[in-house]
């Protein structure tokens, strides 16, 4: 691995090369650094939460049994601290309702802001923001694959109460952290085989959402976003909250839309959808994940789609309209390594997008020189963006290159190995 002098020398050379195509690398670093990326807490404990759940249900599944899973809030926050110490840039942490803290049992519908004071104190101390998620899975009130869209009014009312309370928790977290908490509404509702009536569950869902979102909350503290899906475990043939359903609801009601990279047909690309959403929706959330043949939430790679997604955000100038969150859970490898790899890849791709000479490409396109656009797009991929990222890490006090893995391995030996 290069030493400090070598990194600085490589950066100066890269800075000169980028200047020749009109890119100020210092400004690009600041732009990439200031973009918040929300780290998902559930990678650290395999989405089990603190309700005593031993297994997952409702379209959620993890595979693997790597040693060292976080078993309580203290362990989970310690693991997050370790991960955040290795990830450059502005970061947030996303919570689920199942991560509440209480000395006594709390019914999920009754969860309150007071059950998240520990998380708020932790975030304020670290000067980071928090995001939130309703938890409508792994629960007895998931009857026949339906929750808030169930034909049983008692079941619907239960999840409506839960969702309303989650918005209040989000508002509390936003006030405590001094930045908006984005609450993501995702439900596991669907059927394994083809239903006789596709309309009724969706009509019930729309009615329930109108109730949940009725109370207006200051967007300075809280924002709502809704997440669709193509299919899931147990909902292979029909998903109530499909992407079409939520897109229409978001456009009609002025709320945010979540686009999860793994929630579309394998031949669809979220990168292509961003500019389309931006024409009709003020703000969106991206769940950056990686589906492998299905929505399997693999650790994010710096693959073509991730690079394209970040490029679309930057090319369109959508920095303030597109929120980035990570969403994956892999129990087959060191969980902290999974966090760090995915988050650093997301930050790398965003910085690389900030370094792209997009104004030259747009000018050539406006002139009708499609050959130049094609050729230059390919040639720009070889510009020395990695030298800029190394320098960014160095000046941020973060590990450069793969040296962070030694830090994780040391933590595994001293902390994770003691967990049984």
| Residues with active-site annotation | 186, 227, 229, 260, 263, 287, 295, 297, 327
C-alpha to C-alpha distance for 259 and 277, rounded to whole angstroms: 10
3-state secondary structure of 91: strand
Q: Dihedral of CA 303/309/313/316: which sign?
A: positive
Q: Which residues contact 84 (CB under 8 A, 6 or more apart)?
A: 39, 91, 126, 128
User: Phi and psi dihedrals of 372, rounded to 5?
Assistant: -65, -40
Q: What is the 3-state secondary structure of 147-189?
A: CCCCCCHHHHHHHHHHHHHHHHHHHHHHHHHCCCEEEEECCCC
Rounded to 10°, the helix 153-177/117-126 angle is 30
Closest CA to 87 of 40, 24, 47: 40
CA dihedral 210, 211, 215, 219 (to 10 degrees): -50
User: Phi and psi dihedrals of 132, rounded to 5?
Assistant: -140, 160
Residue spans of alpha helices (H) in 281-357? 304-315, 335-354
Q: Residue 392 corresponds to which tokens in the numbers above?
A: 């960014």
**CA 258 from chain center: how many Å?**
9
Measure Cα distances from 250 to 275, 291, 386 in Å: 15, 24, 38
Q: Determine contact, residues 297/342, Cβ cutoff 8 Å.
A: no
Q: Residue 197 corresponds to which tokens in the numbers above?
A: 């009536």
Strand 284-288 with 256-260, pairing? parallel
C-alpha to C-alpha distance for 200 and 207, rounded to whole angstroms: 11
**H or E element in which residue 94 lies:** strand 91-94
């Amino acid at each position: 691995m290069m030493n400090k002098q070598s990194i600085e020398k490589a950066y100066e050379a890269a800075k000169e090369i980028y200047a020749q195509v009109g890119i100020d690398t210092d400004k690009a670093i600041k732009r990439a650094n200031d973009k918040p990326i929300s780290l998902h807490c559930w990678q650290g404990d395999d989405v089990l939460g603190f309700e005593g759940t031993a297994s997952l249900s409702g379209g959620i599944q993890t595979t693997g049994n790597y040693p060292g899973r976080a078993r309580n809030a203290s362990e989970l926050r310690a693991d997050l601290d370790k991960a955040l110490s290795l990830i450059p840039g502005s970061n947030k942490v996303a919570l689920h309702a199942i991560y509440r803290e209480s000395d006594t049992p709390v019914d999920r519908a009754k969860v309150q802001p007071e059950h998240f004071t520990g998380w708020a104190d932790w975030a304020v101390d670290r000067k980071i923001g928090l995001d939130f998620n309703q938890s409508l899975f792994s629960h007895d009130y998931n009857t026949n694959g339906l929750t808030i869209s169930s034909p049983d009014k008692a079941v619907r009312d239960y999840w409506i109460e839960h969702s309303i309370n989650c918005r209040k928790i989000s508002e509390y977290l936003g006030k405590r952290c001094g930045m908006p908490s984005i609450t993501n509404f995702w439900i596991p509702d669907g059927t394994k085989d083809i239903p006789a009536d596709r309309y009724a569950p969706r009509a019930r869902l729309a009615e329930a959402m109108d109730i949940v979102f009725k109370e207006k909350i200051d967007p300075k503290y809280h924002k709502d976003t809704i997440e669709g899906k193509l299919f899931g475990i147990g909902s292979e043939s029909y998903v109530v909250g499909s992407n079409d359903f939520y897109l229409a609801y978001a456009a009609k009601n002025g709320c945010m839309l979540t686009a999860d990279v793994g929630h579309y047909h394998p031949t669809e690309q979220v990168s292509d959808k961003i500019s389309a959403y931006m024409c009709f929706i003020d703000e969106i959330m991206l769940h950056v994940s990686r589906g492998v043949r299905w929505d399997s939430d693999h650790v994010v790679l710096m693959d073509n789609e991730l690079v394209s997604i970040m490029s679309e955000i930057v090319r369109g100038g959508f920095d303030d309209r597109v929120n980035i969150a990570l969403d994956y859970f892999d129990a087959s490898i060191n969980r902290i390594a999974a966090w760090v790899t995915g988050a650093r890849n997301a930050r790398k791709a965003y910085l690389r997008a900030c370094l792209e000479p997009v104004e030259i490409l747009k000018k050539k396109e406006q002139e009708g020189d499609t050959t130049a656009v094609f050729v230059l797009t390919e040639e720009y991929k070889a510009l020395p963006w990695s030298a800029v990222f190394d320098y960014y890490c160095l000046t941020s006090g973060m590990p450069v290159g793969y040296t962070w893995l030694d830090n994780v391995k040391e933590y595994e030996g001293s902390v994770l190995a003691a967990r049984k």
